[in-house]
């Protein structure tokens, strides 16, 4: 085998899902015995066969990626329960194994995958999807770039045909549940449990968290970063749609028209709201100049 073939064979072996008792499978996806595959990839030593040595790496790969996914989605884990979360994690990672040099990107497709597989989260599927979207938005908000924001004075010089852009770290979510408070509470509990004992409590991991008074209601949420900390901010539907239109590249006047589509807000009150929005956006640093290099 040349180096590329060797690397691909090794990666496929490591990503092969484990058996229920966390051992390496006896057969690969192509039907070959894994003992034969192992002998092609790794030499035995005085204590372990080639299969046993490869099995160590196979186990460590899965322990690492499952642990990384659980670290990024602790609220989802609490909502569906520890066992269900492990099952869905294995299914997801089998369909979408790690393809990046960093584990940061491991859960990037999880919200979309959950939407396509509604059965994996049971009766809490819609809530689980909202929670997963919020948690992935937290990762994006924490890591994504930040550009120089426009001041309110600079924004005041723009006209109806001007284009704006939003900070790359600002995430806009339309949710079925007002799940942001739940996610925040579960994240805080995870930090508290970890700091108290250095590990998480088994009852939290296995049993789905109890939900008190959480009902379905349309919610528009912004997830953003200030000074290396991630925050949530609920938005009015009109404000959310206006921001979404700005992100899509509509000029200010068209973005505002889009934002107030179907709104019951009176014409007299709309300018007051718009002034308040822009003041808040400027204070939070959400608005920046469009990246002209991306246009050409």
124-143 pLDDT, tens digit per residue, is: 999 999 999 999 999 999 99
35-83 pLDDT, tens digit per residue, is: 999 999 999 999 999 999 999 999 999 999 999 999 999 999 999 999 9
Q: What is the number of alpha carbons within 13 Å of residue 45 lying toward its C-beta?
A: 5
228-277 pLDDT, tens digit per residue, is: 999 999 999 999 999 999 999 999 999 999 999 999 999 999 999 999 99
Cα separation, 176 vs 110, in Å, equals: 17
Mean pLDDT, the chain, integer = 91
Q: What is the pLDDT of residue 215?
A: 85
164-216 pLDDT, tens digit per residue, is: 999 999 999 999 999 999 999 999 888 777 665 554 444 445 678 888 778 89
Cα separation, 186 vs 75, in Å, equals: 5
36-41 long-range CB contacts below 8 Å, 24 or more apart? 37/9, 37/13, 38/13, 40/1, 40/9, 41/6, 41/9, 41/10, 41/13
**DSSP single-letter state for residue 260:** T
**Of the listed ranges 4-13, 71-80, 283-292, the one predicted with least confidence:** 283-292
Check: CB of residue 183 under 8 Å from CB of residue 134.
yes
Cα separation, 58 vs 24, in Å, equals: 7
Task: Give the model's confidence band at 292: pLDDT under 50 very low, under 70 low, under 90 confident, else very high.
Answer: low
Residue 25 pLDDT > 70, yes or no? yes
Compute the residue count for the chain: 296
Domain ranges of the chain: 1-70, 73-143+180-213, 145-172+234-290
Cα separation, 87 vs 98, in Å, equals: 17
């Amino acid at each position: 085998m040349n180096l590329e073939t060797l690397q691909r064979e090794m990666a496929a072996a490591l990503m092969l899902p484990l058996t229920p008792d966390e051992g390496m499978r006896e057969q690969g996806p192509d039907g070959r015995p894994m003992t034969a595959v192992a002998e092609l990839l790794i030499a035995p030593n005085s204590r372990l066969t080639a299969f046993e040595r490869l099995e160590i790496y196979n186990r460590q790969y899965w322990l690492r990626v499952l642990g990384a996914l659980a670290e990024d989605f602790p609220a989802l884990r609490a909502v569906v329960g520890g066992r269900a979360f492990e099952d869905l994690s294995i299914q997801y990672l089998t369909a979408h194994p790690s393809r990046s040099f960093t584990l940061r990107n491991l859960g990037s497709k999880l919200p979309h995958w959950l939407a396509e597989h509604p059965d994996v989260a049971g009766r809490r599927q819609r809530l689980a999807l909202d929670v997963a979207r919020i948690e992935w938005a937290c990762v994006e908000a924490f890591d994504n770039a930040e550009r120089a924001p426009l001041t309110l004075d600079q924004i005041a010089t723009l006209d109806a045909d001007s284009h704006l852009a939003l900070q790359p770290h600002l995430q806009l979510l339309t949710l079925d549940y007002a799940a942001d408070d739940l996610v925040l509470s579960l994240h805080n509990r995870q930090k508290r449990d970890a700091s108290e004992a250095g590990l998480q409590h088994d009852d939290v991991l296995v049993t789905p968290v109890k939900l008190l008074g959480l009902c379905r209601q349309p919610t528009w949420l912004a997830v953003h970063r200030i000074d290396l900390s991630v925050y949530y901010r609920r938005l009015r539907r009109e404000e959310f749609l206006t921001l979404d239109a700005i992100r899509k590249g509509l000029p200010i006047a068209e973005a505002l028209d889009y934002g107030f589509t179907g709104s019951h807000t009176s014409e007299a009150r709309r300018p007051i709201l718009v002034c308040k929005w822009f003041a808040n956006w400027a204070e939070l640093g959400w608005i920046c100049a469009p990246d002209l290099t991306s246009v050409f």
